[in-house]
Structure 1
Amino acid sequence: MDGLFLGIDCGTQGTKALVLDAGSGQVLGLGSAAHAPPQGRDGRREQDPADWLQALRTAVSAALREAGVDGQAIRALAVSGQQHGLVLLDAQGQVLRPAKLWCDTESAPENAELLDALGGAQGSLERLGLVIAPGYTLSKLLWTKRQHPELFARLAHILLPHDYLNYWLTGRVCTEPGDASGTGYYDVRRRAWAPDVLQHIEPGERLLAALPELVESGDCLGTLRAQATTTLGLSPQTWVATGGGDNMLGAIGTGNIAPGMITLSLGTSGTLAAHADQPHVSAQGEVATFCASSGGWLPLICTMNLTSACALVRDLLELDLDRFTELATQAPIGADGLLMLPFFDGERVPALPEASASLHGMTSANLTRANLCRAVLEGTCFSLRYGLDLLRASGLPGSEIRLVGGAAKSPLWRQVLADLLGLPVVCPQQTEAAALGAAIQAAWSLGRQLGQGDSLEALCERCVALDESTRTLPRPAQQAEYEVAYQRYREQLPAR
C-alpha cells in the first residue's frame, strides 16, 4: 500500500507522531509533545484526557512539519495508547473524571476483592486466560463506583485511552482485541467480553451496554469527523484504523508478528513480548496472554523497576548517565558479590507487589560506587531473565530479541542482556516502535479496506529496518558467570 500514513503513540509521558511513506518504508517525520505528569498521591496516578488531545495536535503538527508534507496527503492513521487506563464518558460523550492510568495502584484492595470473587489466581486464569492485576481496568471501575457513586451512575461509555482518542477522531465507540485484553473483563481465549465478571461490580446489563463495540484488528473504523480534520489539518477522507495498546503496536513496529521473535522494551519499566498463533495460557500468573493487534496472541511479562531503579542510584551517587555507565562497566559480572533486588515500587515479575528493594552480600571490600551501579543494572536485568524463563516455560523460547527504549542505546545494556538472556539482541533503526507500528497497521488496514494492498508481513519487511551495528551476541564464558549470579538472585527472592 503506497502513500503516507500517520502513526500516533499516546503514552504516559507524552504523545508521539510519525509520518511513514509505506511505499519506500521510510520515516519522513517525527513529532512529540509532553503530557502533564500523572497526578495523585498514595498510589493514585491520573491524567486529564484533554491533555492528550492537546499533545496530539502538537505532535501531529510537528511530524508533518518535519516531513515537509501537507496533512491532506495522509491516507490513514492509527493510534497506539497506554494500556489499562479508565476513561468514563457520559451520554453526551463528555469525560466524567480524570483517567486512572496503568500505573495507578489505588484500586489494589478492589483488585484483591475481585480476584477472590473469581476464585483466586486459578479461577481468573480459567475464566479470562490471565490473572487480573491492580493496574488492569476492572478494579478501577469498582473503585470509581465506591469513591464517586454519582459519576458512576452517569457513565454511558467505558473506554481505554486509545479507545477515547479513536472516539474523538471518528465518533465511534469501539475497541479491538489487543487493548481489550488488559481490561480484566475480556476473555483472551475466546476473544470476547466476559460480562459475568462485570456482575461483581454491578448486577444487570448497564455496564455491558457501556462497553465499546469489539472490532477486529486490521479493520478501519471510518474517516475523520469534522472537528478532527480541522484540529489536525488532515483530510476528511483520512481513514482511521483500529490501533491498539502500546505493547501490541510496539510489537508490529519491531516486526514481531510471527512466532520466534521477542520484543524487549527498556523504559521506566521493562516488557518482554512474544508472538503466538494460539493462546499459550501459562500456569504462571505473571505471564499476561494478551491478544495481538495483528491477529494471534502476544504473551508478555512486565517488570516495574528498570531504568527507574537505575535513576534512583544515579541520583543517590550524583552521577550523570555517562558516568553511571562508565562505573558499571568497570565492575565485574556479579558486582564482586554485591546483589540488589531493585523492587523499589514492589514488583510485578516476579510477583512481589508488597516487596521493597534490598542490597545483599555487602562487605567492606565490595561496597564501591562501581559495584553499586553494576548491582542495580544487573538486578533489573535479572527480573527480565525471570520473565523470559516464564515465557520459555510456556513454549515460547524465542530466537532473537528486538530491543527498543532509551536504555537500548547503551552497548553495556545490550551486552548484559545478550549474555544473561542467552539470545542475540538487536535494535531497530526506528526506536519509536509503537508509533511506527501504528503507521504500519494503518497502511495494512487501508489495504484491507480497499481490497488491494500489501500483507502485514510485506509491510513489516519493508518498513522495519534493523541497526546491524547494534547486534550483540551472547558470549559463552560470560553466560556461565551470569548464570551463577542469577541463581544467587533467585535464592534471595522473598518467599511468596
Structure 2
Amino acid sequence: MANQQLFLGIDCGTQGTKAVILDARSGQVLGQGAAAHSLISGANGRREQDTAQWLEAFTLATHRALLAANVDGRTILGIGVSGQQHGLVLLDDRGQVLRPAKLWCDTESTPENDRLLAHLGGEKGSLERLGIVIAPGYTVSKLLWTKEQHPEVFARIARILLPHDYLNYWLTGRSCSEYGDASGTGYFNVRTRQWDLQLLRDIDPTGRLQAALPELIDAHQPVGTILPGIAEHLGINPKALVSSGGGDNMMGAIGTGNIKPGAITMSLGSSGTVYAYAEQANVSPDASVATFCSSSGGWLPLICTMNLTNATGAIRELFELDIEAFNALVAQAPIGADGMCMLPFLNGERVPALPHASGSLLGLTMTNLTRANLCRAVVEGTTFGLRYGLDLLRQNGLQSRSICLIGGGSKSPVWRQIVADIMNTPVICTEQSEAAALGAAIQAAWCKSWANGHEDSLAVLCERCVKLDLASETLPIAANVAACQQAYERYQQHVATL
C-alpha cells in the first residue's frame, strides 16, 4: 500500500457534493461518496443555498468516500475542490458568511445585469472589454443586486468568493481564486487574466469591492495546507496540500482529459454544457460562447443550455415514469417524434439566447400525441440546444473528432445514440461519471507534483487517471443522421419564430 499516492477530489454542485479518492499512481478511483444539498427557491427566479450545507455535505461525502475506498484519511496527500460556477459567497471581516449564496441558476438579478450590460456598451462592449458577455447568472450582477436590495449586508462585505473559493477558504483560511472560475464572474478580463477593478469601482466607488477580491493564482499553484482543526474534523492528513481547484466545467475538462485541442466534452446534467480546450483566447463574436479560462493553463470556450435533465425529468414526473420506462418510450418513438417538436425552455434559455422564453410543444396532431413521442421530443429538443451550441463552437474554429459525454444523461444508451446522430460525431463516456470530482483530484496530484519539482505533467496524470468506457462508444448511423438533420432544421425554424 505504501506506493499509493492518494488524493481527495470534491465536487460541490447544485444538487449535492461528491467526493472521490484517487490513487494517482495506479490511476484508479478507489472509492466515492455523496451527500445532498437543498435549494432555497423564491419568486423572481431566486435560487440560493445555505453555505453551511456545503460544509456538512463536504464532510459527509469525504467520510463516505474514505469508507468506500477503505483507506486511512491520514494518507491523503492533497485535496482538490470543484465548485458550481458564478455563485456569490460574501464574508464579513470575521470570515462569517453574510447571507445565503446566490447561485448560477438564480435570475433575480436580471434587471441589474441589463443595466450593467448597458453600462458596458451592450454585448459588443462587454465582449471587447471583458472577452465575455455578462449574463444574469454571472457574479457581477449579484453584487449590484446585493448593494440595492441588501445595503446593510453590502456595507459589511470583507471578502467576495465563488463557491469553490469559499470551500478552499474554509479548508486553508486563505482567500484565493484561480483564473478558470474567476473568468465566470463578469469582473475579470479573460484575455489579460486580470480583475476589471474599474467595473467594481463603478458599482461601488468606495473601493470596498476591490478590497474584498481574492488573490489570483495559477492553476498549478496550491492554495496552501489544510488547517489542523479542519484536517481533524475531516479525518485527513494535516499536511495535505489544497490545490487551486476550479469551476465544475474546468474540473470536468481535466476529468475527461480535455486539456489539448480536438476533444469536446459535453455534460448532460440539470443544465447542458459543451466545451473544448483552446490555446489562445479566440473570443467568439457570438454572445452565447463564453471564452472562459481553463484550469490547466489555456482557455475553455463553452456554451451552456439552461434546460436538460431538468426538462426530461419534468416529463418523466408528469407520466410517473422511472428512468428505464422513460428510455424505453424514447426508443419506441421515431426520430423527429412523428413531427412533434418541443422547445424545452422551461427555465428561459441561454443557448439559443432566449432568456424570457417559456417551453412549447409544436406540431401536435390527433395521431402523434402519444407518451412515447412526447418523451422523445423532450430528449431531442434539449439535445438540439446542445447542437446549436456545438455549431457555434465549430464556427469559432474548434475541431471535434469525438465527444466525451458526462453527467447523468450520459448513462442512457438511447440518449448517447441520439447525441451521436444529432451531432454526427462519435460519442464515448469516461469510466468515471463524476468527471468534475475526478478532475479536482487529478489537479491536486498535479499541484503536489509541482511542489515536488515536476514529477508528473498534467498530461501524464490525465493519461493515467482518465479511463474511457469502451463499451459506451456510440457511432453515428448515417440514416439516423439525415433524419435528425431534418428534425433539427424544423427545431431551428420554430426557434426563429421566437
Q: TM-score, normalised by structure 1?
A: 0.98
Q: CA deviation at 1:457?
A: 0.4
For 2:286, the equivalent position in structure 1 comes to 284
Corresponding residue to 1:333 among 332, 335, 353: 335
Q: CA deviation at 1:359?
A: 1.2
Counting matched residue pairs gives: 496
For 1:260, the equivalent position in structure 2 comes to 262
Distance of 2:36 and 2:318 partners within structure 1: 26
2:480 maps to 1:478: yes
**Cα 1:5–1:116, aligned 2, differ >3 Å: closer, same or farther?**
same
For 1:119, the equivalent position in structure 2 comes to 121
Corresponding residue to 1:398 among 400, 404, 417: 400
For 2:238, the equivalent position in structure 1 comes to 236
Q: CA deviation at 1:395?
A: 0.5
Q: Which one is further off, 203-212 or 260-269? A: 203-212
Where 1:264 maps in the other structure, the secondary structure is strand
Q: CA deviation at 1:403?
A: 0.6
Corresponding residue to 2:313 among 297, 311, 314: 311
For 2:99, the equivalent position in structure 1 comes to 97
Alignment of 1:15-164 (within 5 A): 15-164=17-166
Letter in 1 for 2:394: R
Q: CA deviation at 1:316?
A: 2.1
Distance of 2:497 and 2:92 partners within structure 1: 45
2:271 maps to 1:269: yes
> CA RMSD of the aligned region, Å?
1.2
Q: CA deviation at 1:207?
A: 1.2
Q: CA deviation at 1:397?
A: 2.5
Alignment of 1:410-489 (within 5 A): 410-489=412-491
Q: CA deviation at 1:494?
A: 4.3
Distance of 1:362 and 1:268 partners within structure 2: 26
2:153 maps to 1:165: no
Distance of 1:318 and 1:241 partners within structure 2: 43
The Cα offsets for residues 54-79 of structure 1, whole Å up to 9 and x where unpaired, read as 11111111111111111110011110
Distance of 1:397 and 1:490 partners within structure 2: 23
Structure 1: 4+ residue segments shifted above 4 A: none
Q: CA deviation at 1:344?
A: 1.0
Distance of 2:286 and 2:454 partners within structure 1: 42
Letter in 1 for 2:281: P
Q: CA deviation at 1:495?
A: 4.8
Letter in 2 for 1:423: T
Give yes or no for contact 1:338–1:371 (8 Å, CA) kept in 2: yes
Give yes or no for contact 1:42–1:106 (8 Å, CA) kept in 2: yes
Letter in 1 for 2:156: R
2:213 maps to 1:211: yes
The Cα offsets for residues 45-101 of structure 1, whole Å up to 9 and x where unpaired, read as 111111111111111111111111111100111100011110001111111111101
Letter in 2 for 1:314: R
Distance of 1:161 and 1:254 partners within structure 2: 22
Distance of 1:267 and 1:211 partners within structure 2: 30
Give yes or no for contact 1:12–1:38 (8 Å, CA) kept in 2: no
Corresponding residue to 2:9 among 4, 7, 10: 7
Distance of 1:370 and 1:47 partners within structure 2: 36
Distance of 2:67 and 2:338 partners within structure 1: 51
Distance of 1:275 and 1:38 partners within structure 2: 34
Q: CA deviation at 1:431?
A: 0.5
Give yes or no for contact 1:292–1:298 (8 Å, CA) kept in 2: yes
The Cα offsets for residues 119-161 of structure 1, whole Å up to 9 and x where unpaired, read as 0000000001010000000000000001111110110100001
Structure 2 unaligned regions, length at least 5: none
Give yes or no for contact 2:157–2:208 (8 Å, CA) kept in 1: no
Distance of 2:428 and 2:189 partners within structure 1: 33
Q: CA deviation at 1:26?
A: 0.5
Give yes or no for contact 1:114–1:200 (8 Å, CA) kept in 2: no
For 1:220, the equivalent position in structure 2 comes to 222
Give yes or no for contact 2:46–2:108 (8 Å, CA) kept in 1: yes
Q: CA deviation at 1:368?
A: 1.5
Q: CA deviation at 1:437?
A: 0.3
The Cα offsets for residues 441-488 of structure 1, whole Å up to 9 and x where unpaired, read as 000111101204211001001000011000001111211111111111
2:199 maps to 1:197: yes
Structure 1 unaligned regions, length at least 5: none
Q: CA deviation at 1:326?
A: 1.2
Where 1:348 maps in the other structure, the secondary structure is coil
